[in-house]
Amino acid sequence: MKSSIFTAPISRLKEFNNLFIELTEKNCNQRCKHCYINFPLSKKVKDFIPIDIIKKALNDTMQENLQCIYLTGAEPMTHPDFNSILRLCLKRCNVCICTNGSFINEKKARFLKRVEDESNFEIIFKLSIDHYNEIKNDDIRGRGTYRQVLNAVKSLVKYNFNPILCITNYYKEDKNILLAEFKKICDKIGFETMPHNFAINECYEKTKQIEINSDKWESLDCEYGRILTTKGIYTCPFLSNDHRGRCGSDFTDFSDKTLLETSLCANCIKNKNLMFGINFTSFNC
Ligand code: SF4
């Protein structure tokens, strides 16, 4: 008799290289159309992770081969202790700030360079921008965001940072065209780019249930890392604070297995490669 029970593929943590830390679950100054976070109506949510939880996590993961700590959110730079957290994490390994760029101007970039110079590791930036056309970008991310992020890029480049532009392919356009047009914009502002300066991801459709119809992928974020939030440990930023991605309360005892059963997982599988982590083999930082 044919079984109708659906068996979801399983992913296992192959190596714990990426530690994501959610500095705030809901606090963001933007409301992008494609964001997977369900925001409260009020923009004034103060749900910042206490620094002691981060200190404990860094201690508990001492034996892991961490390559990069990712400061994520919502918008991580809204955390009131952002600078202390950054310095703390830089004692351990490279730190990637995943930001919308709105808190970065020349003064901040100069300060961040000083912080990096005090450390043996690097600060990497992943900046969100979704279209090379200002009107199309601002339609997705909000008015003025295009100029803000390009200003952030210019400021970072001035202080010798080498940011990665994270592009969500909201309009489902040809990736080669997107890359070529983004390259032109970067050339105009004096940012010499290589292919690894762009990370284009498929757009997650919030309301559409996508079925998992393949167990083939190159790499998934849940195979190379975990995310720490105020509520515990989860498989990846997509499933942070979602019971389906729960791995445990802290890093002394957490699950290394994940059942790929959500439509977010289907999106990752469709994307084939890491959506949040950096592929360091192609990025010579
Ligand atoms: S959403 Fe993606 S990274 Fe997260 S558990 Fe599913 S497949 Fe893994």
Q: What are the pLDDT digits (tens) for 200-232?
A: 987 876 666 666 766 778 899 999 999 999 999
pLDDT value of position 285: 43
**Which residue range is the domain that position 31 belongs to?**
15-271
**Which residue type occupies 97?**
I
Question: What CATH number is attached to the domain comprising 169?
Answer: 3.20.20.70
Contact call for residues 92 and 123 (beta carbons, < 8 A): no
Instruction: Tell me which of 265, 270, 275 to substitute to probe ligand 1's pocket, judged by most ligand atoms within 8 Å of the beta carbon.
Output: 265
Q: Say yes or no to pLDDT of 1 above 50.
A: no
What is the C-alpha separation between 115 and 83, in angstroms, rounded? 9
How high is the pLDDT of residue 279? Answer: 77
| Ligand 1 center from residue 11 Cα (angstroms) | 9
- Kindly give the number of the ligand 1 atom that is closest to the alpha carbon of 237: 4
* DSSP code of residue 109: H
Judged against a pLDDT cut of 70, whether residue 43 lies above it is answered with no
In the reported structure, the alpha carbon of residue 186 is separated from the centroid of ligand 1 by a whole-number distance in angstroms of 31
- Picking from 172, 181, 160, 225, the residue whose alpha carbon sits closest to that of residue 201 is 172
> Which of these ranges, 115-119, 130-134, 262-266, 269-273, has the smallest mean pLDDT?
269-273
Look at residue 233 and tell me if it is in a domain: yes
Q: What are the pLDDT digits (tens) for 228-270?
A: 999 999 999 999 999 999 999 999 999 999 999 888 898 888 8
| Ramachandran category for residue 248: left, alpha or beta (phi over 0 → left; psi -120 to 50 → alpha) | left
Predicted confidence band of residue 34 (pLDDT cuts 50, 70, 90): confident
**Distance of CA 266 from the midpoint of ligand 1 (Å):** 8
CA of 272 to the centre of ligand 1 (A): 11
Q: Confirm or reject: Cβ of 260 under 6 Å from ligand 1.
A: yes
Query: Which atom of ligand 1 is nearest the CA belonging to 221?
Result: 3
Question: 262 to each of 9, 210, 259, how far by Cα in Å?
Answer: 11, 8, 9
Assess whether the C-beta atom of 265 lies below 6 angstroms from ligand 1.
yes
When pLDDT is averaged across residues 87-113 and rounded to a whole number, the result is 98
Cβ within 8 Å of residue 54, ≥6 positions away: 21, 85, 88, 89, 228
pLDDT at 283: 55
Please state the domain count of the chain: 1
pLDDT at 2 over 60: no
- Cα first-last separation, the chain: 55
Does residue 6 lie in a domain region? no
Q: How far apart are CA 141 and CA 28, in angstroms?
A: 12
Over residues 97-114, mean pLDDT: 97
Residue with the bigger pLDDT between 284 and 215: it is 215
Q: How confident is the model at residue 4 (pLDDT cuts 50, 70, 90)?
A: low
Q: Is 28 exposed, middle or buried (0-12, 13-18, 19+ CB in 10 A)?
A: buried
268 lines ligand 1 (CB under 6 A): yes
pLDDT at residue 229, as a whole number:
97
Percent residues over pLDDT 70 in the chain: 90
- Is 69 a domain residue? yes
Q: Which ligand 1 atom sits closest to the C-alpha of 223?
A: 8
Reported as a single tens digit per residue, the pLDDT across 151-165 is 999 999 999 999 999
pLDDT at 179 over 70: yes
Helices and strands, counts by H and E, the chain: 8, 11
In this structure, is residue 205 part of a structural domain?
Answer: yes
In a domain, 161, yes or no: yes
Pocket lining: 224 vs ligand 1, CB cutoff 6 Å:
no
Q: How far is the CA of 26 from the centre of ligand 1 (A)?
A: 20
**pLDDT score for 136:** 95
Cβ atoms of residues 69 and 94 within 8 Å: yes
Domain assignment present for residue 240? The answer is: yes
179/90 Cα distance (integer angstroms): 31
The verdict on the CB of residue 221 being under 6 Å from ligand 1 is: yes
Residue 152 beta carbon below 6 angstroms from any ligand 1 atom? no
Give the pLDDT of residue 263: 86
Q: What does the pLDDT read at residue 217? A: 85
